[in-house]
Homo-oligomer: A and B are copies of this chain.
Amino acid sequence: MELSNSEEQLMQILWKKDKAFMKDLVEAYPDPKPALTTVATLLKRMQDKKFVGYTQIGRSREYFPKVSKKNYFSKQMNGLIKNFFNDSTSQFASFFTQETDLSEKELRELRELIDEKIKNK
């Protein structure tokens, strides 16, 4: 099961904080902050979906992500690539290189990284 938009927004906050009490999560929202109960509902649903866990501390719960941002992001990417590039990562890579506008400096850095990757093959 996937995260909905507002769930994902909350997840972003949780990833940033790494772990947090509900109160702090609400606090971290940009204005207008949602009601505590709203966040509570989202957290509940996210627990059902196995994206969030918590540790009981006193009578409070410290929530934490059960899925890493990296992992989640990868899945998203793969989904996109699958849909739009017929599952071809390299096709995507070339599209990406052509269509985004990285500066020359950034391009050089990227090439650097690729070189390194090639070396390690």
Q: Which residues of A contact B (CB under 8 A)?
A: 8, 12, 69-70, 73-74, 76-77, 80, 83-84, 89-90, 93-104, 106-111, 113-115, 117-118, 121
Contacts and interface: CB of A to CB of B under 8 A. Distances in A.
How many copies of this kind of chain does the complex include? 2
Contacts of A108: 118
B80 A109 contact: no
A5 to B, nearest CB: 9
Given A73-B84, A80-B80, A106-B90, A117 B98 contact: yes
A96 B100 CA distance: 14
A94 B23 CA distance: 35
Contacts of A121: 104, 107
A89 B109 CA distance: 12
